[in-house]
Amino acid sequence: MKKTLLNTENIFLILCLFWGIVFLFLNPPFQSPDELEHFYKMWGYTQHILKYEIKDGQTGLTLPKSFSNIHEFYNAYRMSNEKIPFNATLNAAKIKLDKNNTQFLNFTPTSYTPLSYFPSFIVLWILKLLNIKPLFMMYILRFCSLLVYLALIYSAIKIAPCKKWLIFFFALLPINVYQAASVSTDGINLGFIMLYIAYTLKLAYGDSKQISHNEFFVWGVLITLVSILKFAYFPLILLYFLIPKDKFESTKNYLKIFSITTVINILIICLFLLTIMQSPITSNYGLEHQFVNKIDLIKEIIFAPFAYVKNVLASTNFLKGFLYQNMISSIGVTLAMIPTQYIHFAWIGLIASVFYKSENETECDIKIVDKLVLFAVIILIHFIIMTSVYLIYQTKPYIIGVQGRYLTPLILPLILLLSLTKFSIKNKVLPISLVLLSLFLLFQTFIMTFVRYY
């Protein structure tokens, strides 16, 4: 019983549930990135509205008027360092839904599909039927998001044949727990990415000598879900090449499975891109204060690739200090982070965790060729994210608008690059140290959140 309780996934479950609930209530309503937008988008799904509305050139949705009071109050604090009066939240909690009294509310709708909000939008639909007050809806949806994250990461740690403590420590990074305990798509996105990576490691380095058709099907479903949730992480499909060829019936079958899965994913992504390319620009930025058609920008990138790559490299260099910190910690709308010295501790913990090997883990022999695959995945995802942000915000001379949480999923393949088969740590002091370090970082996030808002 004691041994079962001390399993890596169980320790994660206890710690993440506790701290997730702490952040769920400590973080003031609608202060996480795009929390209002996600909440409203889900409300649209409960009304069977799959797209935004346009009124007087503004995007938005027809929502209950009760939302507008909450929107105006909390929106004023999102980009401000002012404290939020506790009494104001108590007053906001008294506002009734009154769902039949509606008005058009302008906001920037997210481009995510209903899958990104599953099962939250179903929960919201039930809450709407019960006429639950808007603010209580928000807290319940936060808890729903946290539970989804817990379930996915728990499964990822459990099925991973190796590097369990790396997944454990990564999943408990302050930014990941903070975002998972908010009305957001980040929890489900990251959860499925981690589950996909863990499952691929299982196929590549697990004990099975030959992979079954069912296992191939599960792998294909997982990478397709990752692509649907956020197309920028589609290059993770290349992790397929970590799986040895001798685990397949033949080389033909090996290539066939990859080709079919890739084509399906590309078609899904193209359909998604064709949809969002039609959306109006709602950003305040623009090239020389004037927005350029996205198609023209894409042509510019294609016909001047070297100039664009140079721009991406220069922008990455410009943002490196911010991203180094923001990939680990982000409080509110990236306005606060834990101190830099603690960020260093987090990176040290990540690096140390990749070398730990427990008695019940297999040996993940990540060869040079495998590391080249990991490196290609990192580069491609980084390039896609930078390009997506450039097309949205259109800023020069640097591409700004990139948040650390966009790149946080790259931490795991980045740290796996450092893995050495000939060097491993089996001392049980390291897992204990990782647990204590996670607790320390989360406690610091608790302090910073409290200081930021109260």
pLDDT at residue 293, as a whole number? 78
Helix, strand or coil for residue 102?
strand
Q: Categorize the per-residue pLDDT at 56 as very low, low, confident or very high, splitting at 50, 70 and 90.
A: confident
* pTM check: above 0.85: yes
Q: Which two tokens stand for residue 142?
A: 């936060």
Q: How far apart are CA 419 and CA 416, in angstroms?
A: 5
Residue 388 has pLDDT above 70, yes or no: yes
DSSP 46-100: HTT--S-EEETTEEEEEEEHHHHHHHHHHHHHHT--PPPPHHHHHHHTT----TT
DSSP 111-149: ---GGGGTTHHHHHHHHHHTT--HHHHHHHHHHHHHHHH
Residue 201 has pLDDT above 60, yes or no: yes
| C-alpha closest to that of 67 among 170, 137, 155, 172 | 137
pLDDT at residue 283, as a whole number? 53
pLDDT at residue 5, as a whole number? 57
Which has the minimum average pLDDT: 12-21, 82-91, 172-181, 429-438? 82-91
| Peptide linkage before 339 cis (omega within 30 of 0) | no
Q: Which helix (H) or strand (E) holds 103?
A: strand 102-106
Asked whether the beta carbons of 439 and 171 are under 8 A apart, the reply is: no
Chain centroid to CA 231 = 12
| C-alpha closest to that of 449 among 144, 19, 140, 146 | 19
Q: Which helix (H) or strand (E) holds 369?
A: helix 368-393
pLDDT at residue 285, as a whole number? 57
| C-alpha closest to that of 97 among 60, 136, 71 | 136
Mean pLDDT value across residues 270-288: 64
Average pLDDT, the chain: 89
pLDDT at residue 82, as a whole number? 76
Q: Which two tokens stand for residue 4?
A: 């079962």
Number of other CB atoms surrounding residue 418 within 10 Å: 13
Helix, strand or coil for residue 255?
helix
Q: Which helix (H) or strand (E) holds 104?
A: strand 102-106
| C-alpha closest to that of 97 among 131, 72, 62 | 131
pLDDT in tens, 208-239: 788 888 999 999 999 999 999 999 999 999 99
* Continuous H helices in 233-336: 251-276, 294-303, 305-326
pLDDT in tens, 4-29: 557 999 999 999 999 999 999 999 88
Q: Which residue has the higher pLDDT, 306 or 82?
A: 306
| C-alpha closest to that of 406 among 425, 434, 381, 380 | 381
Q: Which residue has the higher pLDDT, 251 or 68?
A: 251
Asked whether the beta carbons of 227 and 115 are under 8 A apart, the reply is: no
